[in-house]
Amino acid sequence: SALLQLRELRVDIGERTVLQSVTLDVQPGELLVLMGANGSGKSTLGLALAGHPQYQVVSGQALLGDQDLLAMQAHERARAGLFVSFQAPPDVPGVKNNLFIRTAINAVRQARGEEPQDAFDFLSGAKAAAKDLGLPATMLSRPVNEGFSGGERKRNELLQLSLMQPKLAVLDEIDSGMDVDGVRAVVKLVERMRAEGTAFIIISHYLQMIESLKPDAVLRLDQGTIAERGDMELARSIARSGFKQHAASMAATA
């Protein structure tokens, strides 16, 4: 059965309904690309799943495996295997990156009934992962994201992702602000983790990266719902025509 099951999910921010009704299944190891115009609610979906308090799920269902995400606190959702990267990763002042990541990993291990990771194993793994992502090892001992450039923040999200080994990762415009090597690192890491069974919802406007990711499906979010599900051809049509014109021509041929 599906890893993630969303049923008629409605999400409000304050007085406003941003997502009307989102229904979606994600299978283990599946890679879905989520596209949509600015302000269509892509980040809202990720943040609502993560349990961000400003994004209120008013109705509908969200199951991760057999667990009811909506009944869980944000940290419990992470422990259950959900990873949501931020479009704009925040600073965590005063908390060293390596401690932050190690605490998160050990919380997940504890939830699975496993022993905490040995400090030496953690550090050697973290250093190797940082190197793969083109981050200097000194980043590990700096406070989370403090003084990091935009691209470094994104790479740091990837570092957390690779060390956390979630069941489902939602990556929100992970490519934005990243250089060519960074985008290649995204594709390589996603390929490896997908082969190991991690499922992905990848929010992106960047056609070249989407092509490289070889998604199982491409989704278009519009009017608070998944208006269209297709393959790479959908992403290409959006890139060619723009969201407005693509939607208009869909409506005309319907």
Binding pattern to ligand ADP, positions 162-201, x when CB under 6 A?
----------------------------------------
Cα 31 from Cα 36, distance rounded (Å): 17
Pick from 174, 217, 167: nearest CA to 196: 167
Nearer to ligand ADP among residue 11 and residue 126 (C-beta): 11
Pick from 30, 35, 25: nearest CA to 235: 35
Is residue 199 within 8 Å of residue 168, measured between CB atoms?
A: yes
Two structure tokens written together for 162 = 């690779």
Nearer to ligand ADP among residue 43 and residue 160 (C-beta): 43
Cα 73 from Cα 90, distance rounded (Å): 20
Nearer to ligand ADP among residue 102 and residue 205 (C-beta): 205
Residue 225 CB, nearest distance to ligand ADP (Å)? Answer: 13
Nearer to ligand ADP among residue 34 and residue 101 (C-beta): 34
Is residue 88 within 8 Å of residue 117, measured between CB atoms?
A: no
Two structure tokens written together for 60 = 């509908």
What residues from 55 to 114 belong to the interface with Mg ion (CB under 5 A)? 87
- From candidates 1, 15, 38, 121, binder to Mg ion by CB under 5 A: 38
Binding pattern to ligand ADP, positions 29-48, x when CB under 6 A?
-------x-xxxxxxx----
Could you say whether residue 18 binds ligand ADP (CB under 6 A)?
Answer: yes
